[in-house]
Structure 1
């Protein structure tokens, strides 16, 4: 029986997903569009009800229609996008306006081969491509640069998925693509009004339920689209708002610190041999934490489009994101690094210890062993509370045009974006001197067990002293002006199809400043009007105030091993009833921290020429081009005098003296050739190859001319404005087999040779710091500065499959499976100068995603399991002992029901199995063990 393929009227995204917007003109050329027509299923071209009407009715002979909707529709569109591309690429497409397959874009992208994600509070936040860190992935919004402030990578928690029509991941470049995506380029597309093609309104109303805090919050969105009768003018406006209340529970070990007994303040005899000449490694802190928080995200998009003829298209669009995060950070911590009397003359010291001499000497030179257990009197015990508030605002504007005159097509676009992140947090340094023991009954790979004895009660507020209230935060502002002009001349029907050339200009500036202040105990006692008792000699010369009346016990239910049943935290309501927030911040207003800020500018000019070619039968196609890039950098910062450091005894904040202004300029230029080739071996079998030199710029913070100091973890970090960009000479080869009924089988291999790779140059530096309130302390710091010191080779293979089970028989119609597998061979490089070789950061050797779906009779059910193997997160930031994330897998599921042609119901569950995440150091010591819980989203989607 003859079959006609139909796309349902409500699914009017087809053209918007296939039409390339600014900066992606090479993705959908005339030749590739012709090639796409060879697919056995009809191309996804209907953009309006009128177009669809021509293919929907059954004919008189009773031809059967196939309705392709929902998730299968998404797979179909993504396949056609991949097939028509001139470069090695993959993508995810929306099912309908406001119906992206996942609630979070990063969660969707992890289904693509070669893509890995990291999560923040249970949400996908950053994306890695083919084994390179998120900073190597360039993110674009409708073809223009999109940033989220502070780094090259984009924070996907800032962007609602409601209005996204497609996300493309280009893994090989062409000359007309903006440089910087050394790992790949992610292009986020939204639908323009005339692409949608009709006047309509789409809306979503949902509730979000978080399993850990047992909270329900709203998630709503709406997109209104207007098109005039002649379909020459359109405008749309979309607004999405989401709230989320979460509770993240975790254990954190701050890293393996190596300390000389005589350099502790006061000296500590860890092995109890009667002298202070030994050097041991220990976990800097054992901290059990809770992060109850609330997030609010407002997203707004708007587009105006004018297309008086098929040859003229003029548009302007706007994107806005306002992301607010408010949370508390409760921490119950003990610290080996600080064992001391609460008051002068009181007993303190190690009473028993066990030392493993075989763990760390070979990894951390100078260490005589690792302290696996310690019993002590005067053990540092913290009841810390931090109030954390941040707000990230992103605004992006663009205007552009496409004009075709006979054989010449000219496109231009100008854009501007600014991303600003503001944060102001405050914390309470509340300390007790415990009689306690820290052991590892389940081994170093599990959180330790902390027990107390000798009559010490960890829930007795009268034993705790408040040393200070500290304010810290800052602002990061990232803005970019961008303009480009592209022209393409169609040569004719011969082998050379067209010649394309263009110019690009970018002007980016990133500024950052840290602010902080501290109100010490004497100030707090004065501000309290006598309600808080000042103890002059407690915890050193600065004194403290008694914490009685401002601490309260809390408890949480969690699966984290050895998590305490309850512990004390600051009762902020009780505290601020004694000293109002406005009073204390007025007495200690946050000021700019000397040496912490930076001002980095980057001006780029680029030009390219590209030849697009193809055989007359349409089976062979590709492009050959070269891009020239010139970048000028400038960095302003402060170079402080580190001989004037001031630290708070027992505290965690460091005051750096005012620095000398410093300005450093730099520049670099490169030719970046690229070659992409594809050949249709058979009607549905395509082979692709690509060769290119690709550039990746250093992190914005790495270009800083400033210096920051943290005496708590004994590090000094300086930027390096003279850094050169990373370079990669790379090759790609892939084979794609397009099956009927939206099926796909593909395999790819890739190779990247990286040079100018940046690692930390590292030296030790001994400084004498002033103790606030009197006295000094000698501290040995690790001083870090990024340098172009290394090279690396990355190679890997990718396999992907989409298998509709209708192949088996009619009984399986509507069922399908999908999956992908990526193997990456990570190079071994040092994380710091002179350090041991470890795998390249953020590279999991094995990654896979496997899932299945059923869609028929208006019912949609889908589940997917995503896995990534162990990977390195760097040198651990603090003590150089490494940070490795063990293998992690997560199961997500969704269900939907098409109640009427205009109304559908849906439910999604994220992290169905309540998977936990961990991080360990280079000899297996647990650094992080966290549990975020399940997230359930359910609601209704409607069209008017």
Structure 2
């Protein structure tokens, strides 16, 4: 238990110190000493035992106060009692931190608006990854064994580089730090109304320390199962398509339009270019997520000057899901059989958005009435597993003024995914419109006698199978030497070296089975009707069913493939599990990074300790290797689905590169009064390019007509940054702070783009010459990010002892970020992930063994990608209320209850001119159970 001395401090004096820092500063040392004496002389009252959520706030404030850099912390109340179930959701309470959710659960963390790839994530000070990407997925990390999570926003020279936006350090308590033998356990049930299941969440953590307190070990294991349902409608954005053929100077057609051609404005020709909604994809995802986490460690202090320690961390996250999809593709209009009826009967076209749609657009279709619209009944199966293993061994030794610490570590993360999709096709007569505006889901009305619920209208045309394997492996070592210089201005000198050898690999494999191939596997239980979609289809009457799309806006009743019924005709093992898939030439990447760094850091302070800080310089040298395949683009084969592209031949290439960086840093802390702290920081930091950007390979997408090439010679992103903060520490654990930050970004990576004509061969026969966009990443842009952060945690006991049961907390972040084009010469979009306004506010009650807490978190509209067709994707403003409660039954037993997304809020995405791209919801999540401490 933590005990705090209760001070009787004048509220008026505290507010004066807060509001008049200049006057306080002018008093110099004498005034500060008098204030300190007044505090020390305050009459001591009874000792107050601080527990529950307030204790975690007190711990966090104390860590922030002692920090030698600008940072914020979320702290556990006690071992096994982190205040939130998900680390990312905890971190969103910190000023300047925003999170992205996956199925309603926090998954990735952004700091001060920069993309999550610029957030460096560490476990007990060492590198941690989650498989094939620089962005760490927090869904693979249990919070049950976490003692604190610190967000460091300014660096010092001894910190490992790479956190351009900041560093998140997840810490577990070592055995001797806990200092006693103890056992804690929890057993909870998780209930999600959208799915209707109760699933387990259990953990046990033991810590043993010998009688002399010189040796200790701990170990823990946790298991959590989550079953959830996500419903979603996706339109993919506005597709701008060339309806007319492209001719060269001689009048020869060199790039075809749609095949067959479509007259969208019903004027008798197809020589127009329009933008329109690609389609509406209604989906219901049922998933099970199992997370197993285990930790272990030891700590040995055989003598006062030597310490040995080691720890390991293991996490396995398994996902199994089935997604029922019913898709209408308004851009795919053709007959089911050759010579059949198809075409546009009527449309409404507006030109209000032409400036946003791109060059050559003749308007946007807000209404389309047509025959032959693609209507697909689909079911997808997905199996994925993320294995993460990390181990470290370290030693600390001190002799007089000299100290040394050395540590070696290793981690490996493997992310494997295998998925399939069964697609049945129909050709519908339907009208698509936006009765509620383009910011809502389109309305689809089937007409002219077409029944979308009649399975006889559908034919299974293909199955696609995909497999992905992502590996992230790292060897890491460091040595840090320290020397205490004495009581002069410079107090301590640190020097050290760091080495890491990291390798990322990503392989992708695709395969398409046609209707004929599926029928051949079935030994006669499936038959093919010739001529469907030009190649043949399997009548789908025996394996379709309606799906429940309730809760989605304007969702019609639609059919999907029933995997169970289809499995009775052709086993899942035959059509999926036993299928060999050849990796796609030119896809994926194999990137190696070897870095060596050296640093020097000096800590300093004035004789009265009012001014203190550190100054240092870090030198970094990185060598990269990138292996890949460079394909022959003259042999592209487009499959029957007109989406998947096969590249027949490719040559192996290996590209080497290197770069070096000098990274200076300065951190200052000035105690204006004993309670009032000012901080200043200046530094240069780097962020390494995305792994896909460093790829030496080339990939092709015939659906969007794009060629994507990596660039292994990219330089790292750079940021020259300044930070200034004022922190006022109230008695009884209160805190008020305001901070400003500035980052000058340089060498920002954009996509350089050129056009290229390629002749492709359709698997079903025939060729076409198509215009492709070749994209390659280049260091092209510079820009500035500026912002202000305000935070408060206020125990009401500060105002009156009778309010010792009540408190509030909150933060607000304002970010002003630049706009960058997504491709060279293109239209500028806001920096991905940056919401201008972000805030959270909450309150807690802690009295008589009962704790209640509620919070509201808001994130403003932000850019979330380029969009499927380059029209941008923006996540709309989102706010969510979460609440929790705990009841102390005895000194050893307590009951807990949590609810996430209390008001069942949906999330939305739109494109650059307000067209709805995604509407999705997972619903509320309730957790209740017991915690035991022995």
- Report the TM range for the smaller structure's normalisation: over 0.9
Alignment match, 1:402? 396
Q: How do residues 252-291 of structure 1 correspond to structure 2 at under 5 angstroms?
A: 252-262=234-244, 263-291=257-285
Task: Please say if 1:901 is aligned against 2:891.
Answer: yes
Equivalent position to 1:205, from 187, 210, 228: 187
**SS of match in other structure, 1:97:** coil
Task: Please say if 1:747 is aligned against 2:738.
Answer: yes
Classify 1:779/1:329 alpha carbon distance in 2 versus 1 (closer, same or farther; 3 Å). Answer: farther
Between stretches 240-249 and 653-662, larger displacement belongs to: 653-662
| Per-residue deviation, residues 542-576 of structure 1 (Å, max 9, x unmatched) | 22111110111121431x31122x32111111111
CA distance in 1, matches of 2:758, 2:424: 27
Equivalent position to 1:66, from 48, 51, 57: 48
Alignment match, 1:175? 157
Task: Please say if 1:914 is aligned against 2:904.
Answer: yes
**SS of match in other structure, 1:77:** helix
8 Å Cα contact 1:500/1:611 also seen in 2: yes
Equivalent position to 2:553, from 539, 549, 561: 561
Equivalent position to 1:771, from 758, 762, 766: 762
Q: Where does the alignment leave 5 or more consecutive residues of structure 1 unmatched?
A: 8-34, 43-60
Equivalent position to 1:802, from 789, 793, 804: 793
CA distance in 2, matches of 1:313, 1:517: 55
Alignment match, 2:683? 692
Deviation at 1:592, TM superposition (A): 0.8
8 Å Cα contact 1:361/1:368 also seen in 2: no
Deviation at 1:717, TM superposition (A): 1.8
CA distance in 2, matches of 1:398, 1:648: 48
**SS of match in other structure, 1:194:** helix
**SS of match in other structure, 2:672:** strand
CA distance in 2, matches of 1:805, 1:782: 61
Alignment match, 2:721? 730
Deviation at 1:587, TM superposition (A): 7.4
Deviation at 1:41, TM superposition (A): 11
Q: How do residues 849-928 of structure 1 correspond to structure 2 at under 5 angstroms?
A: 849-876=840-867, 878-928=868-918
Deviation at 1:705, TM superposition (A): 0.7
Deviation at 1:888, TM superposition (A): 0.7
**SS of match in other structure, 1:164:** coil
Between stretches 543-552 and 101-110, larger displacement belongs to: 543-552
Q: How do residues 377-392 of structure 1 correspond to structure 2 at under 5 angstroms?
A: 377-392=371-386
CA distance in 2, matches of 1:717, 1:253: 24
Alignment match, 1:221? 203
CA distance in 1, matches of 2:487, 2:914: 63
Deviation at 1:670, TM superposition (A): 1.1
8 Å Cα contact 2:283/2:549 also seen in 1: no
CA distance in 2, matches of 1:372, 1:646: 34
Alignment match, 1:189? 171
Alignment match, 1:452? 446
Alignment match, 1:546? 539
CA distance in 1, matches of 2:594, 2:207: 37
Between stretches 569-578 and 768-777, larger displacement belongs to: 768-777
CA distance in 2, matches of 1:682, 1:532: 82
Alignment match, 2:4? 5
Classify 1:41/1:426 alpha carbon distance in 2 versus 1 (closer, same or farther; 3 Å). Answer: farther
Equivalent position to 1:932, from 916, 922, 934: 922
Deviation at 1:39, TM superposition (A): 13
Classify 1:622/1:539 alpha carbon distance in 2 versus 1 (closer, same or farther; 3 Å). Answer: same
CA distance in 2, matches of 1:5, 1:834: 60
Equivalent position to 1:590, from 581, 584, 602: 581
Deviation at 1:652, TM superposition (A): 3.1
Equivalent position to 1:432, from 419, 426, 437: 426
| Per-residue deviation, residues 256-278 of structure 1 (Å, max 9, x unmatched) | 11112241111111111111111
Q: How do residues 662-677 of structure 1 correspond to structure 2 at under 5 angstroms?
A: 662-677=653-668
Give me the CA root mean square deviation: 1.8
8 Å Cα contact 1:764/1:781 also seen in 2: yes
Alignment match, 2:11? none
Deviation at 1:63, TM superposition (A): 5.9
Between stretches 244-253 and 714-723, larger displacement belongs to: 714-723
Deviation at 1:807, TM superposition (A): 2.7
CA distance in 2, matches of 1:568, 1:370: 29
Classify 1:886/1:585 alpha carbon distance in 2 versus 1 (closer, same or farther; 3 Å). Answer: closer
| Per-residue deviation, residues 691-710 of structure 1 (Å, max 9, x unmatched) | 10111110122111112222
**SS of match in other structure, 1:701:** coil
Deviation at 1:184, TM superposition (A): 0.3
CA distance in 2, matches of 1:148, 1:649: 35
Q: Where does the alignment leave 5 or more consecutive residues of structure 2 unmatched?
A: 7-32, 245-256
Task: Please say if 1:789 is aligned against 2:788.
Answer: no
8 Å Cα contact 2:356/2:913 also seen in 1: no
Task: Please say if 1:84 is aligned against 2:50.
Answer: no
Between stretches 679-688 and 613-622, larger displacement belongs to: 613-622
| Per-residue deviation, residues 175-212 of structure 1 (Å, max 9, x unmatched) | 00000011001100001011111111100100000121
Task: Please say if 1:476 is aligned against 2:458.
Answer: no
Alignment match, 1:333? 327
8 Å Cα contact 1:236/1:302 also seen in 2: yes
| Per-residue deviation, residues 507-561 of structure 1 (Å, max 9, x unmatched) | 0000010012122111111222222220121101x22111110111121431x31
Deviation at 1:362, TM superposition (A): 4.7
8 Å Cα contact 1:288/1:331 also seen in 2: yes
Alignment match, 1:497? 491
**SS of match in other structure, 1:549:** helix
Alignment match, 2:570? 579
Classify 1:129/1:499 alpha carbon distance in 2 versus 1 (closer, same or farther; 3 Å). Answer: same
8 Å Cα contact 1:118/1:127 also seen in 2: yes
Equivalent position to 1:127, from 92, 105, 109: 109
> With structure 2 as the length reference, what TM-score do the two structures score?
0.94
Classify 1:586/1:941 alpha carbon distance in 2 versus 1 (closer, same or farther; 3 Å). Answer: closer
CA distance in 2, matches of 1:658, 1:587: 25
Equivalent position to 2:88, from 106, 117, 128: 106
CA distance in 2, matches of 1:765, 1:461: 42
Alignment match, 2:232? 250
8 Å Cα contact 2:420/2:463 also seen in 1: yes
**SS of match in other structure, 1:534:** coil
Between stretches 355-364 and 434-443, larger displacement belongs to: 355-364
Q: How do residues 598-637 of structure 1 correspond to structure 2 at under 5 angstroms?
A: 598-637=589-628
**SS of match in other structure, 2:903:** coil
Alignment match, 2:693? 702
CA distance in 1, matches of 2:363, 2:36: 67
Q: How do residues 504-523 of structure 1 correspond to structure 2 at under 5 angstroms?
A: 504-523=498-517
Deviation at 1:781, TM superposition (A): 2.8
**SS of match in other structure, 1:108:** helix
8 Å Cα contact 1:519/1:588 also seen in 2: no
Q: How do residues 359-370 of structure 1 correspond to structure 2 at under 5 angstroms?
A: 359-370=353-364
Alignment match, 2:712? 721
Deviation at 1:6, TM superposition (A): 7.7
Task: Please say if 1:646 is aligned against 2:637.
Answer: yes
> With structure 1 as the length reference, what TM-score do the two structures score?
0.93
**SS of match in other structure, 1:86:** coil
Task: Please say if 1:712 is aligned against 2:703.
Answer: yes
8 Å Cα contact 1:764/1:782 also seen in 2: yes
How many equivalent pairs are there? 892
8 Å Cα contact 2:79/2:184 also seen in 1: yes
| Per-residue deviation, residues 745-787 of structure 1 (Å, max 9, x unmatched) | 0000010001000111123333222111212234333332211
Task: Please say if 1:161 is aligned against 2:160.
Answer: no
8 Å Cα contact 1:690/1:731 also seen in 2: yes
